[in-house]
Amino acid sequence: MTSEPSGYLEKRIVRLPKSREIATVGLFSAFSIILTIISNLVLKLAFVPPVTYLLFDFGEIPVVICFLLVGPRGGFCVAAVEFFALNLLPTTTPLIGPLFKFMSVAITLLGLWIGFKIIKSRSFKSKIAASSVFSAILRSVGMTIPNAVWLVYSFHFVPFSSLLYYTLELTAVFNVLQIPFDLVPTYIILDLPQMKHILRKNGMTWFESGVSRTKVR
């Protein structure tokens, strides 16, 4: 029998009860809606011209955190709840704005899920860093066609024009930058030793999936 390497403990996963999962989804849905409203109406961290209508969204952070705590189902549920809630609020782009946000967030979560499934590492930092690459690529590429259609039919951009290509390139860069905007604060929060202890105790440890052994700090 081989002994466990010094400095490592076998990870014990506590299943999150269904009622607690629902409560967690509800809590982070509320956070997401509030932070999205703040991002759109108060802080307004706009990207560069001519795409200043693109705003960095703090509301994506709770979605990503919930995804990492309780798993893909929790993250996608928060994104869906936020989508329906935003459609009930006044907006200059009814349905389309919330729909594009939902698509962007869903693609981001898909990239994270792929990364966490593919990357086998004992380090949460390595897993989330590699997963962010998948998310950035998927988001920038996946949102290009919807954005192109929206620009042509709503803003009357000339199809295949240099202005359209330039705008789409800036939009792709924005989508790539939104990923670290989401994940850096998420990583800082979830990597705190005290936070990890609380989360493991309450079974909110999906983000450690694929890590068979956890290093003792």
**What is the tens place of the pLDDT at every residue in 138-197?**
999 999 999 999 999 988 999 999 999 999 999 999 999 999 999 999 999 998 999 988
Q: Is 15 helix (H, G, I), strand (E, B) or coil?
A: coil
| Whether residue 6 has pLDDT greater than 80 | no
Cα–Cα distance between 94 and 62 in angstroms, integer? 23
- For residue 7, tell me if it sits in a domain: no
H-run or E-run covering 115: helix 96-118
**What is the span of the domain harbouring residue 166?**
15-212
Quote the pLDDT of residue 14: 53
Residue 4: pLDDT band by 50, 70, 90 thresholds? very low
pLDDT, greater one: 10 or 155? 155
Q: Which of 78, 87, 148 is nearest to 108 (CA)?
A: 78
Q: Is 3 contained in some domain?
A: no
Q: Tokens in use for 13?
A: 């996963």
Which range is least confidently modeled, 23-37, 58-72, 121-135?
121-135
Count of the separate structural domains present in the chain: 1
Note whether residue 2 is domain-resident: no
DSSP string, 88-100: TS--SSTTHHHHH
- Is 175 inside any structural domain? yes
pLDDT score at 167:
96
Would you say residue 10 lies in a domain? no
Per-residue confidence (pLDDT) for residue 205, from 0 to 100: 86
Is position 6 within any domain? no
At 104 the three-state DSSP class reads helix
The CATH number assigned to the domain holding 126 equals 1.10.1760.20
Q: Is residue 124 part of a domain?
A: yes
| 7 φ/ψ sector (left φ>0, alpha ψ -120 to 50, else beta) | left
